[in-house]
Amino acid sequence: MSGCSAIIVAAGRGSRFGGDVPKQYTRLAGQAILRQTVLRFLHHDGVDNVRVVIHRDDQDAYTQAIGDLPVLDPVTGGETRQESVRLGLESLTGINPKTVLIHDAARPFAGHALIKRVTDALETHPGAIPAVAVNDTLKRGHQSMIAETVARENLWRAQTPQGFRFQDILTAHQNLRHETLTDDASLMEKMGLAVALVEGEENNFKITTADDLTRAENMMNSGDIRTGYGFDVHRFEDGDHVMLCGVPIPHHQGLAGHSDADVGLHALTDALLGAAGEGDIGIHFPPSDERWRGAPSDIFLAKARDLVTAKSGIIINADITLICEQPKVSPHRITMCKRIAQILQIDPSRVNIKGTTTEGLGFTGRGEGIAAQAVITICLKA
């Protein structure tokens, strides 16, 4: 455990964004922006836990956006961002992490490497923030006229996540709670504590306007598009149910295998690993390893998902075909789609499952087992 917690600040109203819902709950590539942001930290090996600070009126929207993601219970924020952060920090006193990352909910593109640069800097500094050097000429205006040109040397655009030693930033927020400062690093500066600058990313922008959302959608639809294919077979054995796509289905036989023999999830895992260029399921979970005897196959699929996320990739869609005479697939299709979407942490509309037979031909036609094919499309960011 690294001793690092992340606070995602999601209590704002987003007045500049417009729309019927706060921007953090607006959908981006089929998921709420907040969910996209939280996933960046949940899948980072340098972060132990994540807590979201929400508006008192947003509990239902939060629950719908986050679903069953393994995050800490949310806390209610205050009237200002600064107050919301303080309340979030105070909620972590029972955990007492060594360090904490504070991130805007409307920045869904914080890369894995960027987060690591911040956490690495905290090993030698009380605080660290990602920032991008100012390249444009800066003008100070007055009444729509240029008042002066501002030297841009040594000027930086601050981003989040901003990272700090937990006790330092908690003390700063509590001591300066009646002052209004523009970001968390400003409080540390006010307390006389050094804050390091690390390299930020242009893509780590904050979605503030409708134009920003369009830019974000374009980013989600760009990158290295890859398709993976998976195939798996398991024979029947004695049993009273089969596991198919993460769902136990009553049947007069079971499926034989080292794990739970979920032929659908095995094919999908191989497809996802193939698209990510990460080998196959046997490399990561060899059947010779007793740890995986009887193991639920959602572990395998979640590992493949995390490998994609570590490459700043997104899963666009998954399509699975189950080939068998029995059991019938159609009565369970919706449940299976929801279960796979849950494991992959994508919207169920991006998952499709269908069943077919071989018209009595071959081993599946003779009722000797089940086969599965899977195709998945992902987008890896440059």
Residues 190 and 335 in one domain: no
In 3D, which of 335, 342, 336 has the Cα closest to residue 305? Answer: 342
Q: Tell me the pLDDT tens digit for each residue of 227-254.
A: 999 999 999 999 999 999 999 999 999 9
- d(C-alpha 162, C-alpha 165), whole Å: 11
CA-based torsion, 59, 64, 66, 68: positive or negative: positive
Identify residue 241 by its one-letter amino acid code: H
Domain-terminating residue out of 205, 220, 235: 220
CATH of the domain at 92: 3.90.550.10
Residues 174 and 230 in one domain: no
* pLDDT above 70 as % of the chain: 97
Both tokens assigned to 52: 């979201």
Segment 211-215 mean pLDDT: 91
- d(C-alpha 115, C-alpha 111), whole Å: 6
Classify 177 as helix, strand or coil: coil
Residues 260 and 133 in one domain: no
* Strands 127-133 and 195-199, sheet pairing: parallel
Segment 202-226 mean pLDDT: 88
Domain-terminating residue out of 185, 220, 255: 220
Domain that holds residue 102: 4-220
Torsion of CA 300, 374, 109, 18, to 10 degrees: -120
With beta carbons less than 8 A apart as the criterion, state whether 13 and 109 touch.
no
DSSP β-bridge partners for residue 378? 226, 315
In 3D, which of 313, 345, 312 has the Cα closest to residue 115? Answer: 312
The residue whose two tokens read 């800490």 is 72
pLDDT on residue 14: 66
Residues 206 and 71 in one domain: yes
Q: Is the pTM of this model over 0.85?
A: no
With beta carbons less than 8 A apart as the criterion, state whether 101 and 118 touch.
yes
Tell me the C-alpha to C-alpha distance, in Å, between residue 328 and each of 39, 322, 323, 358. Answer: 35, 10, 10, 13
Domains held by the chain: number:
2
Both tokens assigned to 336: 């299976």
Domain-terminating residue out of 220, 244, 263: 220
Average pLDDT of every residue of the chain: 92
Residues 229 and 200 in one domain: no
Tell me the C-alpha to C-alpha distance, in Å, between residue 87 and each of 5, 11, 53, 176, 322. Answer: 14, 11, 8, 13, 49
pLDDT on residue 217: 85
